[in-house]
């Protein structure tokens, strides 16, 4: 039931009053930030004032989004507490226990609420209000939810405090001391729920959890940009937000390598290889170590130096800490021989460096991948000779010139933890799109958890790439579970229109037979539109459709497979279109060009999907990737194609089980190994000698 003009006017007067008190509070914070104090105190006061100012938001934001009336009286619900005179609350925070009934009340259980009023606002001006009188409710879905979801995207994930439903709200408030897996299909609001959960935890555990104690991890920079304003909008500032690649040390990135190599590097057995390789960097002392200190030679017996190494090895410390134990032991040995003043002199430092070298993660990994000897020694029985050959690569001449791949990053993180062990640990971690992370990436997440409290978000039906999973157990096995695991599905789709989802869901029996479709509760403005074109007209039609949507004020995504990207970019340029590239980490408010992988987790008002057949053909679990592409819209879907718009019969590239049959060696692996060896030969020998080298290689490989 919509509100009358008189009701809206009365509520507006209340909103204006609350805004006045909010303004006074903001002015007081400005005075506080400039108050005189010693430098340290002033900095702390300024941080507090800035955080509080962000929490209160500006004058252009509505003071409240809802109101409930019932046995407890009347409460206005907003994103933050606003007090009136004598600290009487004009608006209570959505975090507060008193506000819970706003989200939980239903026709089945009113929670003591007689009426729930929802405000639709433009800034702090009430445009309309909707009342839900629970005695008269005939259906569970709130009409305001559908109105909110009809609003356009902005390039930033909208916080959904005003539209949180009971099932979502229960997840937001779930106990913090466990591994919570939130599984939901496209448009179920799982990402927003996870971020609201962070805000909830920070409010209700503020005595023990600070914002800087919470880490949010996403799949790529564009996604992090997309969700970046949700938590500040909820009053939770200073939460640490990283895409999965930014957990690793800062290095030069951009190396491209075959999927077989990346798959090996992502497997959990790489952790054992790195640990063994690092241990092998500790040397073996000479039968007698002779040191010249001053003008005299001193001899350290082999047994005593070897014992010092074993003392260091047995210390429960990272590599660098154990090195310090070894160095201290050598210092004492030398002091006993040559006097205290001699310990720590250059000859001693040289001995320590030779037997227990100082290492960085990047230097260690560069040396390891650049040496077949070191790789073979560290492989043990876990890797075949062919796999070691795939891992081997020529090192750059200088460490600063080394270029690293995405699959190298979790290995650098693992090596850094083995060497220095100084990774920051968090009280709570949220991981979005977790279904696609490799075991080594999941280890990067796990080592940052101080308590085992994590919120894991994703959708198995959207699990693609080398680490595509069919169950959450394959993800959870690499994470801390001592505090318990709870898996909860979100079954209602609020974002993707029914007509679009019904089309995309036809892929599920092929893409993910074990996944049940979500129940979609809203219609879109029109059914999906298929533009069947010739090859020469594909890019032009794609761009024309995108420009038409953008002209209507819509946030547009062109989901384009890599093989169609160049033609699409050329057509965008030819049409003078303003567009942003997810490949560069951009996300604009008009037209955005994204690959199917980059589209994960994003939402647009209008989506143009280019050549579904190509998407299915290009990717492992290609039908899942197409399912992702088709479900990125909240309103309009256009498909531009030469081939089949929904290629159900096209076989997708089968996924080889990660880590299975490590001794297998495919034709593709053979091709990549041959290319790798050819590159090594070109770099190491003049062309006139290639045949001679190849003959010699054949002789060395001949088992006879």
Contact status, residue 523 vs residue 635, Cβ threshold 8 Å: no
- The two tokens of residue 270 are 């790489």
User: Which residues belong to the annotated binding site?
Assistant: 184-191
Edge-first strand listing for the sheet containing 89-93: 82-83, 89-93, 73-78, 66-70, 113-122, 125-133
Beta partners for residue 184, in sequence order:
490
- The two tokens of residue 464 are 């693609």
- The two tokens of residue 135 are 């005695």
Beta partners for residue 277, in sequence order:
none
User: Which residues belong to the annotated binding site for ATP?
Assistant: 184-191
- The two tokens of residue 119 are 């405000």
Count other C-beta atoms under 10 Å from residue 499's C-beta.
15
Q: CA 60: distance to chain centroid?
A: 31
657 to each of 157, 201, 480, 672, how far by Cα in Å? Answer: 34, 38, 23, 19
Closest CA to 323 of 299, 356, 292: 356
Contact status, residue 490 vs residue 182, Cβ threshold 8 Å: yes
**Rg for the chain (alpha carbons), in Å?**
30
- The two tokens of residue 689 are 């000698």
CA within 13 Å, CB half, 250: 0
126 contact partners, CB below 8 Å, separation of at least 6:
8, 11, 12, 15, 62, 119, 120
Contact status, residue 72 vs residue 111, Cβ threshold 8 Å: no
Q: What's the rounded Cα separation, in Å, for the pair 14 and 20?
A: 10
The length of the chain in residues reads 704
């Amino acid at each position: 039931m919509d509100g009358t003009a008189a009701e809206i006017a009365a509520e507006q007067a209340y909103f204006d009053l609350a805004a006045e008190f909010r303004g006074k509070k903001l002015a007081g914070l400005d005075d506080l930030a400039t108050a005189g104090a010693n430098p340290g105190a002033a900095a702390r006061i300024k941080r507090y004032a800035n955080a509080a100012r962000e929490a209160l938001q500006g004058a252009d934001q509505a003071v409240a989004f809802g109101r409930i009336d019932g046995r407890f009286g009347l409460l206005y619900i907003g994103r933050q507490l606003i007090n009136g005179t004598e600290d009487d609350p004009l608006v209570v925070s959505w975090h507060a226990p008193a506000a819970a009934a706003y989200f939980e009340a239903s026709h089945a259980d009113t929670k003591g609420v007689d009426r729930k009023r929802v405000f639709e606002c433009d800034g702090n001006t009430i445009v309309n209000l909707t009342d839900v009188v629970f005695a008269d409710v005939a259906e569970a879905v709130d009409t305001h939810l559908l109105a909110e979801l009809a609003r356009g995207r902005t390039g930033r994930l909208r916080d959904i405090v005003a539209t949180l439903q009971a099932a979502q709200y229960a997840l937001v408030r779930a106990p913090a001391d466990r591994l919570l897996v939130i599984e939901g299909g496209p448009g179920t609001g799982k990402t927003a729920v996870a971020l609201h959960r962070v805000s909830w935890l920070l409010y209700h555990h503020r005595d023990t959890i600070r914002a800087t104690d919470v880490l949010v991890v996403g799949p790529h920079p564009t996604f992090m940009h997309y969700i970046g304003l949700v938590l500040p909008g909820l009053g939770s500032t200073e939460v640490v937000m990283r895409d999965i690649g930014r957990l690793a040390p800062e290095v030069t990135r951009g190396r491209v390598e075959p999927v077989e190599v990346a798959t090996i590097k992502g497997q959990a057995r790489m952790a054992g290889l790195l640990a063994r390789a690092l241990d092998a960097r500790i040397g073996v002392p000479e039968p007698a170590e002779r040191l010249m200190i001053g003008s005299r030679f001193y001899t350290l017996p082999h047994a005593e130096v070897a014992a010092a190494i074993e003392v260091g090895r047995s210390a429960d410390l990272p590599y660098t800490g154990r090195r310090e134990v070894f160095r201290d032991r050598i210092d004492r040995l030398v002091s006993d021989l040559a006097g205290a003043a001699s310990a720590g002199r250059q000859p001693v430092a040289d001995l320590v460096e030779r037997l227990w070298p100082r290492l960085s993660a990047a230097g260690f990994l560069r040396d390891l991948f650049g040496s077949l000897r070191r790789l073979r020694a560290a492989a043990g029985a876990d890797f075949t000779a062919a796999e070691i050959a795939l891992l081997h690569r020529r090192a750059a001449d200088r460490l600063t010139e080394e270029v690293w791949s995405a699959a190298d990053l979790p290995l650098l993180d693992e090596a850094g933890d083995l060497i220095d062990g100084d990774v920051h640990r968090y009280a709570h971690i949220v991981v979005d799109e977790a279904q696609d992370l490799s075991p080594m990436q999941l280890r990067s997440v796990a080592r940052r958890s101080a308590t085992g409290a994590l919120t894991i978000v994703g959708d198995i039906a959207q699990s693609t790439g080398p680490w595509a999973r069919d169950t959450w157990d394959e993800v959870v096995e690499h994470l801390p579970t001592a505090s318990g695991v709870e898996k909860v599905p979100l079954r209602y789709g609020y974002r993707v229109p029914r007509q679009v989802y019904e089309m995309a869901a036809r892929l599920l029996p092929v893409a993910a037979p074990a996944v049940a479709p979500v129940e979609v509760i809203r219609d879109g403005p029109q059914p999906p539109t298929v533009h069947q074109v010739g090859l020469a007209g594909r890019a032009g039609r794609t761009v024309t459709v995108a420009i038409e949507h953008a002209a209507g004020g819509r946030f547009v995504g062109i989901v384009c497979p890599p093989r169609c990207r160049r033609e699409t970019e050329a057509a965008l340029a030819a049409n003078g279109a303003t567009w942003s590239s997810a490949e560069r980490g951009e996300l604009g408010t008009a037209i955005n060009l994204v690959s199917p992988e980059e589209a994960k987790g994003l939402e647009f008002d209008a989506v143009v999907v280019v050549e579904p057949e190509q998407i299915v053909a290009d990717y492992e679990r290609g039908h899942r990737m197409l399912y992702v592409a088709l479900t990125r819209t909240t309103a309009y879907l256009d498909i531009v194609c030469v081939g089949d718009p929904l290629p159900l019969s096209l076989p997708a590239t089968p996924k080889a089980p990660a880590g299975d049959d490590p001794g297998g060696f495919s034709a593709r692996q053979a091709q990549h190994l041959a290319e790798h060896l050819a590159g090594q030969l070109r770099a190491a020998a003049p062309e006139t000698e290639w045949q001679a080298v190849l003959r010699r290689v054949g002789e060395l490989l001949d088992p006879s």
